[in-house]
Chain A
């Protein structure tokens, strides 16, 4: 059997790969993200085939008779009947909103779309959100506010190599999406320069021309400080600001309070380094300013991204070929997953659920009365925290997510899940969340089903089934169709990806993220299609904003934003900052990668990265078990020494369950706009265990 051309199951780079024969994986050369010169994959990609044969694969529905009874195999009919009956009973007793849905940024566009439709049409609940709230929401909110449109990268990934200067705030691509680094290497070989903002001297920071080692939680002040210097050093593009933007004068007034020496005191970044950064950006013909989770996962994440957008706009970058502002999307379908309706406030095509015209359009496609569509529901963290509380949801249907490991203040989230009357989890492995469910549905995985993914560029790609799924396993689309039927939902719930995609195209038509001109055939023929693509004769939009921004008057908005600092600063009881993140060999909650032997060999166990100076003062030696305690809880992991981290900060990867679960510690303080939790900084104390 010849190999199937598809894409990687992991991050938003969505490297092209060939799967087969068997579980063999090889890089594709035709996909720009990782193609050319033999193609590239990281170890996660190379070993992705192992996921298809993992020993504890779920292949039969599991159900427990009572909360305290064990999970036992049952038939699909028994499982689906139980779910449908549970939903009916709970909704009759407690109202429609008592059933909630939680999705994921790894689901295909078809599934994300169908999940949103299922919640609104079959369950008629407003309460649906997804783990992308933990990932992309701050960048999305800030881009929408500034540009009227949220596409991660405004340009194709191949433009990276052509940028004279790139500033990357809070991104560690060398570990999180290694093949992306090839584009940075090409950029360097052309003479381009890279600035990295990060509290840690990461593998990415080490290859930068300039590393701004910022104090955790102060990225916003740094961005404002850079803008202050850009103004005083004369790098502002006045003509651009006049023609294409609004709001600069208001921003300037705020920026006057961010003189370099004040910003140095807040951020710890030396003034000369800030000056160098501004000159590198200001003197570049083409420059890109990019943010990632390090800048975004804060209670001030939206404003932090806004501060970097203000800088980009003042320098005249967005909407110019080869320049701009972008964010590096994290999860596999982090882009598409935020466009088609699994967000609490959203309908397909990046429409707002409180917009009457949007409701009417989507209701027509769905064959229902717009008045029957629920309004906005609770955002992810609020939704999880409301589970099983008086007035909160009593049932949760969860797809493609593992919040027991990945949500902030995970101990509380676990308690909330346990307080539900009914927890249903669809997954292909017994994840830490699945094992707590009342009903577990064995789902198809990445290479067993077809569907589209929108990568970090905004390029819509086709993942194709490379081999049949194991007997007993169903796809999420089939599961939703079966449940919709049992719930006597109006309209049609197709189980075939191509049919659902056609419906998605119609639902997105006329929206910001317009997919109506995209077909599976075009994706294959054109190596992906960039949205917006409003017609089959439309070429797609590789570069957005060239003529105008997607705001009503076509101008981008600069918005004044102020530094507020971390929601929880260090103090006498909790004197050290904790920041969390990823390692190369693992992905998100680790539910997949912790089951791949080569990845476990590469990164077998969790750890606390600590500066030897800080460790020395606490009597901690390398390899010791360290107890890390925050106001939320405690975790224990091994000390790993590094001089690449600030002396006032420790780092923990968040991929592991058990006593080293980093999210037992993290702060669920939320950004007021995006509802993003503050994963990237909280206050802790450490002691040798």
Chain B
């Protein structure tokens, strides 16, 4: 490794890379630039903050003191404005120039703000950063109604959080159904009912034309059918756009994101890497945290002498919104003619489950309303492992055919009654035939019930049953 590693961007990807690098090598020289002054934080938890479950100061990922304690040069609140790939330097907005041996771009993405009139007014906020989150919370205080533009993951989490704060909330969504990138239409419909039950109205197939304002403040949104939805607060969740300006200006190949190979290197410059939402690998730009952390881990391996390769990530979407359980992964839109599809729907109770299988492997799934098998499905999907022959186990937990409680009558003589002392029903019967009539008699003879004590009821039951048998079928011994 020649020279120091400079990381541009201290969000979820950049900060993760820095801690992964330091965990592997105490001596690497690392400098990280972050445009935000705050310590890096976990964006996944912003919905908790908006919902009021977690305080804004409690979602940090790296303690500010960690950098000094671990010898990382952290320049927070310093924005990089230029890269010189010939001199191998980066230039900060304050004019300082920093040389790099290896440069990692982790600049993330910016929210898409549709170019429509009124969206720059007071009262309109894009939901993206912790500062945005704070602004929304501040404006929600005293507001009565809100419109969330965008019925994707982030929009629904924002809507749920605002409804939880007592606002009347309407989601305006351009697509034909909610979360159409992750859900099929039926699931979208069930989700719409569920979220309605939580006080959030949704309009699908609704195109925004602008936001009426009064005195510089937003008063609502206007749709292309002329309808105006009044609102004190408008939250934009219309998707994200990778931050690629620096890379583009430095002459790196940029499509939607900075194009990288399997070593997460720019295809133009082996000393420049990109990870997280600003990177594009095999045509895909990932917008979730898990792929960014996977990339950070693999790049940390590579930069510390490892020989890892990034082969793309499998994406699992989880909605974090109180009262809505939702997990979705893979190709959820396929039908019976394209794959093996197993479905369960109970829209009235807000449950919809769909599992898509091909070649005995899980290739897609939706769990809505009840997600107890999400862990199992996620692991099968992540590992491309063969699915269980019992397909129902993919949809419902605890359906394994339970052994019916053994009654003293049905239990075979060979069945073990006392596991601790390996005593069979047959031996208890033999004791009874030899005159044993209560648990103490049996314990003295066989030691049944003297270990964990858990079989006491069963032994009593067997003795009781043998007692009733005695009347009709006298025993061989004929004693007592």
Contacts and interface: CB of A to CB of B under 8 A. Distances in A.
A188 to B, nearest CB: 11
Contact of A272 (B44, B66, B371, B419): B371
B388 A613 contact: yes
Given A43-B420, A265-B378, A643-B400, 4 more contacts: A40-B451, A43-B422, A178-B419, A575-B385
B408 to A, nearest CB: 20
Contact of B451 (A43, A269, A613, A648): A43
A643 B402 CA distance: 10
B454 A264 contact: no
B449 to A, nearest CB: 9
Given A181-B452, A256-B42, A584 B63 contact: no
A560 B63 CA distance: 12
Nearest to B42: A256
Given A178-B452, A182-B452, A270 B447 contact: no
A42 B379 contact: no
B53 interface: yes
A72 interface: no
A268 interface: yes
Contacts of A41: 447, 450-451
A509 to B, nearest CB: 39
B454 A207 contact: yes
Interface in B37-80: 41-42, 44-45, 48, 53-54, 58-63, 66
Given A232-B48, A585-B422, A270 B375 contact: yes
A95 interface: no
B307 interface: no
Nearest to B400: A643
29 contacts: A39-B450, A40-B453, A43-B420, A43-B447, A46-B447, A46-B450, A174-B419, A178-B420, A178-B452, A179-B451, A180-B452, A181-B451, A203-B419, A232-B53, A253-B60, A253-B62, A253-B66, A256-B45, A256-B59, A259-B42, A259-B45, A264-B374, A265-B382, A268-B376, A268-B378, A268-B379, A562-B23, A602-B422, A648-B379
Contacts of A261: 318, 320, 327
Given A257-B42, A259-B45, A272-B371, A265 B316 contact: yes
Contacts of B109: none
Interface string A134-167: 0000000000000000000000000000000000
B455 to A, nearest CB: 11
A229 B366 CA distance: 24
A541 interface: no
A262 interface: yes
Q: How large is the interface on B (under 10, 10 to 19, 20 to 34, 35 or more residues)?
A: 35 or more
Contacts of A613: 388-390
A584 B316 contact: no
A602 B419 CA distance: 9
Interface string B343-354: 000000000000
A40 B456 CA distance: 13
B372 A270 contact: yes
A231 B60 CA distance: 14
A220 to B, nearest CB: 15
A242 to B, nearest CB: 16
Interface string B92-133: 000000000000000000000000000000000000000000
A40 B451 CA distance: 5
A270 B389 contact: no
B318 A46 contact: no
A262 B376 contact: no
B388 A259 contact: no
Interface in A32-68: 38-43, 46
Nearest to A647: B388
Contacts of B58: 231, 252, 256
Interface residues of A, number: 52
B421 interface: yes
A191 interface: no
Nearest to A259: B44
Nearest to A234: B53
Nearest to A27: B450
A86 to B, nearest CB: 44
B373 interface: yes
B389 A174 contact: no
A215 interface: yes
A412 B420 CA distance: 35
A575 B447 CA distance: 43
A232 B45 CA distance: 10
**Chain A CB within 10 A, most for which of B23, B63, B66:** B63
Contacts of B60: 253, 256
B198 interface: no
Given A46-B421, A256-B45, A269 B375 contact: yes
Interface of B: 23, 41-42, 44-45, 48, 53-54, 58-63, 66, 289-290, 316, 318, 320, 325, 327, 371-376, 378-379, 382-383, 385-386, 388-390, 397, 400, 419-422, 440, 443, 447, 450-454
A264 B452 contact: no
B369 to A, nearest CB: 11
Contacts of A215: 379
Contact of B419 (A259, A271, A584): A584
B379 A265 contact: yes
Contacts of B447: 41, 43, 46
Contacts of A207: 454
A584 B418 CA distance: 12
Contacts of A256: 41-42, 45, 58-61
A232 B55 CA distance: 9
A369 interface: no
Contacts of B316: 265
Contacts of A570: 383
B42 to A, nearest CB: 5
Nearest to A273: B372
Nearest to B314: A265
B126 to A, nearest CB: 22
A273 B289 CA distance: 23
A616 interface: yes
A215 B316 CA distance: 18
Given A179-B451, A253-B63, A648-B385, A264 B378 contact: yes
Contacts of A232: 48, 53-54
Given A46-B450, A613-B390, A272 B421 contact: no
B375 A268 contact: yes
A252 B66 CA distance: 13
B61 A253 contact: yes
Nearest to A614: B386
B290 A262 contact: yes
Nearest to B453: A182
Given A257-B42, A259-B45, A648-B385, A179 B452 contact: yes
Nearest to B401: A643
Contact of B325 (A27, A262, A269, A272): A272
A197 to B, nearest CB: 13
Contacts of B374: 264, 270-271
**In the complex, the 10 A-B pairs of residues with the closest C-beta atoms, listed nearest first:** A181-B452, A602-B422, A261-B318, A268-B375, A178-B451, A178-B452, A178-B420, A42-B451, A270-B372, A43-B421
Interface in A189-207: 203, 207
A592 interface: no
B387 to A, nearest CB: 9
Contacts of B66: 253
A185 B454 contact: yes
A41 B290 CA distance: 50
Interface string A209-247: 000000100000000000000011000000000000000
A250 B327 CA distance: 31
Nearest to B16: A257
A219 B443 CA distance: 39
A616 B382 CA distance: 22
A181 B375 contact: no
Nearest to A185: B453
B63 A267 contact: no
